[in-house]
Structure 1
Amino acid sequence: MNETFSPPDWTGRAKLLTGPGWFGVPIDGADANELQRFLEANPDYSRLVAGRDWLPGEALSELKERPPADWPQGPVRHLAVLDAESGAWRGYLNWVEDLLAPGVWHIGLFLIDARQHGKGLAGRVFDAWAAHAQGQGARWLRLGVVLGNARAEAFWRRLGYQDVRLREGIPIGLLSQRVRVMVRPLGGADLASYLLAVPRDRPDAS
């Protein structure tokens, strides 16, 4: 597959995040084909957590997906991480603002191109995003990691995420997974205040 498959007009998009050698632009359903090609070029994550390759049209589903309607939630955002010179896709990040409580920003998926692994790009993109989140009022960063995805678990712990609880029997693709819920407080916030704000994530919650 051709490495450079970004559309010709990325330079006209507003850059939400920037860093050495890369930039991040918001995307939406109109960019589903480009996201689909990126996902298909990086099948390992889907194979690990869903037990299968990415499905045709899965990018559009990803771009339209929202948390359960009865969960308090703010906007869902999607970001393409692009090479500063070529415009080639280097990563994809989506998140929900104010999920379950004000100030909780939840990462749904953070995927870096496999050819960039080990080069520090994931950490640089995350640091830029976390700074943006804090600047927009985020107090806690939240995510879920499939138990056994050792690379991801180690990555998030290095970035300061802490375990809050383990959820069992979460259906993902062809599999039923155990998912580790992890949280990183920002600024003067702490884990205790998070658990008061989001009681469903307390270790003893039903």
Structure 2
Amino acid sequence: MPNILLGDDDEELTQLLQEYLQNHGIDCDCVHDGEAVVQRLKNTSPASTYDLLVLDIMMPKIDGLSVLRQLPTISDIPVIMLTAKGEEIDRIIGLELGADDYITKPCNPRELLARINAVIKRTRLSASDSTLEHMPLPESRLHLDQNQRLCQIDGTELQVTGTEFDLLLALLKQKGEVVSKAWLSEHVLQRELQPFDRSLDVHVSRLRKKLQPFHDEPIKAIRGKGYQLVL
């Protein structure tokens, strides 16, 4: 059974979500401020590690974005943000800080469950589904260890999130080809591409910044078509 941590200061909402998720096979612990999120992750033993963190942006003591900034030194747990409806800037900043996905509040529990399952599946099994799993990795300056989920370029280890690793793997296996945004959203983010959803673009932008010390334009954006890995 997946085990997640839900950080939100709305105790009534978290209780409802906790009951819903547990009824659908997901164990859920709840805390109600950012400081408690940090302490819970720091004090979690390896045997009871959480599979995912659902994190509200607006919380007392430490807000969600500040938690995200601290997270790389604490845990490599994947994160789904809870953001207020219409607060696009918070979603973009959160994705830039390494969050894997977001959902707006008030959220539909069924949609949250679908997002949780998608991120956990991607983290555990990698986004390279049966369409890609038998494709060999082409010659490249990039080396991706799919077992340990590590990324190296020219022998230098590159720190990437789980979503960035899966995105890079999907692009590498189709190196030189233009891969559509719709395909990447479906196979990497595990959901259909929605109008005005900039999640994929933000993940690609983060990858570009990490790869640019090694190549001026490592991932090309082909207008109206998708992305192409040229590194």
TM-score after normalising by structure 1: 0.31
| Richer in helix (by share) | 2
TM-score after normalising by structure 2: 0.29
| Richer in strand (by share) | 1
Q: Which structure has the larger Rg over C-alpha atoms?
A: 2
With CA pairs under 8 Å and 6+ residues apart, which has the higher RCO, 1 or 2? Answer: 1
